[in-house]
Amino acid sequence: QQQQQQQQQQPGLSHPPVHSASQPASSAPGADAGAYAPMFGSVVLDGSDEFIRWRAEVDASLRGLASATNALAACTSSSSSAASSGASGPATTAKEAIAQMQQHCGVLVELADHLRKQPAASKWLNSSSACVDTTGTFLTIREAIAEHVYRLMDVQNTELLMKACSVVLRVVKSRGPLLQAGKLLYRLSKDSSNDAIFRRERLLEPIVRIIQIMVTTAASSTSTSGA
C-alpha cells in the first residue's frame, strides 16, 4: 500500500544536490538502449492522464534546466583553466547555457500557469517527482521545482533571475523563499530598463497575489495572538 512521504520544509536558497532517478528505457518495447526513462516516486495523488502528461513535461524541463546549469558551471570552470593554460574553451558558452536556462524557466512558468487552472493543483504539486535528494528520498514536484530554481539565484543575468522569481512566486508556498524572491524583484524594479522584462514575464499578478496572502496571514496571526 502506498504511503505518502513526509513533506519536507522548504529551505532557503542553498540546498544539497538533487538528481533524477531513472531506469533504462530499453526495458520498454521499442525503446532505444541507454535512453533516459524517468522513474517517479510512488506518491501519485491524481492519476489522470492530464496530470501524467504535465508531470512528464515538468520532468523534462527540470532535466534540461539541470543540464544547462551544470553546463554553465563547467563553462565558468573551463574558461578559467583555459585562460591560464591557453587551451580552447568549453563546447557550450556561458551565453548559450544561460539562454537554455531562460528557455526552460519559461516553460516552467507556462506549466505553473496551467497548473493554477486545475482543481487538483495541490495534489499535482504534492505528488512524487523523479528527483531524489542525497538520501535517495523522492521529492514532491513542488520541492523538485523549487530545488532546481533556487540554484539560479546566483547567476548574474537579470532576465533569468526574473524568470526564476516568476516560478518561485507561482509554485513555492514557504514564506522565506517568497520574501527573498520579492526582495530581489524589488531591487531589480529600481532599474527602469527592466520594466519591459517585468511586463513580459507577467510578474505583477503573482506579486500582488503573494502580497495579499502575506497580509492576510499576518493579520490572522496578529488577531490570534491578540486573542
Identify which has the larger pLDDT, 218 or 59: 59
* pLDDT tier, 91 (very low <50, low <70, confident <90, very high otherwise): low
Lowest mean pLDDT among 12-16, 112-116, 156-160, 201-205: 12-16
List the one residue out of 166, 192, 163 whose CA is nearest residue 178.
Answer: 166
Q: Does 130 score more than 50 pLDDT?
A: yes
Q: Backbone phi, then psi, for 41, in 5-degree steps?
A: -65, 170
Task: Kindly tell me if the per-residue pLDDT of 176 is higher than 90.
Answer: no
User: What is the per-residue pLDDT for 211?
Assistant: 78
Mean pLDDT for the stretch of residues 36-56: 88
| Local confidence band at 157 (pLDDT 50, 70, 90 cut-offs) | very high
Closest CA to 77 of 64, 63, 87: 87
Supply the pTM of this predicted model.
Answer: 0.76
pLDDT given at position 224: 67
The full 3-state SS of 182-222, as one line of letters, equals: HHHHHHHHCCHHHHHHHHHCCCHHHHHHHHHHHHHHHHHHH
